[in-house]
Amino acid sequence: MFGWAALPLVALVALVVLYRRLVAAFPVFFSYLIVTEAVGIARLIGSSGSSKTNFYVYWISDIVYSLFALMATFELFIKHLFPKFYKVRFYRYLFVIAAILTAITSIAVALVSGHLRVLVTTIYVYNLGRAAILAFFVLLMMVMGRQWKRLQLGIATGFALDVAAS
């Protein structure tokens, strides 16, 4: 019912990222903000349709949303908190390719086979993966003695709240 409530806040965060010229530093996070806004609008429009349309719009958009959230989490930790790891091209591309292939395969299998529970399971797997990544990297930072910058801490806290709510 109130799924639209976060739309103005997400748009405001995207505008702040643009205003502070942080898009180059956090391109995947900015893409995540744009996708989150688009998903919110699609769900708002889809909710006015039939229950079947609303179902497909919700779960397919949730896979796309979760994929971008996972990639933005990856960007935060790997690119900003562990930058030497990010310089290895193999690791940089491996994670993104695996995430995209998993999303595409899950959507295709669910739509072709008629087993729509695959969509729901994919969302749970992505959320569990995000929670595990957040916990792992926060523990790794504590063990390594790494320090958060204010912006990085804010983004990580937002992701933690999002995955906890999921």
Q: How many domains does the chain have?
A: 1
Domain membership of residue 72 as a residue range: 52-165
Q: What is the pLDDT of residue 20?
A: 92
Burial class (CB in 10 A: 0-12, 13-18, 19+), 112: exposed
In a domain, 21, yes or no: no
Write the pLDDT tens digit of every residue in 94-117: 666 766 776 677 667 766 776 667
In a domain, 121, yes or no: yes
Question: Using the 8-state DSSP alphabet, how is residue 88 labeled?
Answer: S
Q: How far apart, in Å, are the Cα atoms of 114 and each of 108, 117, 120, 145?
A: 10, 9, 13, 49
Write the pLDDT tens digit of every residue in 13-35: 899 999 999 898 889 899 999 99
Distant-in-sequence, close-in-space partners of 150: CB < 8 Å, separation ≥ 6 = none
In a domain, 34, yes or no: no
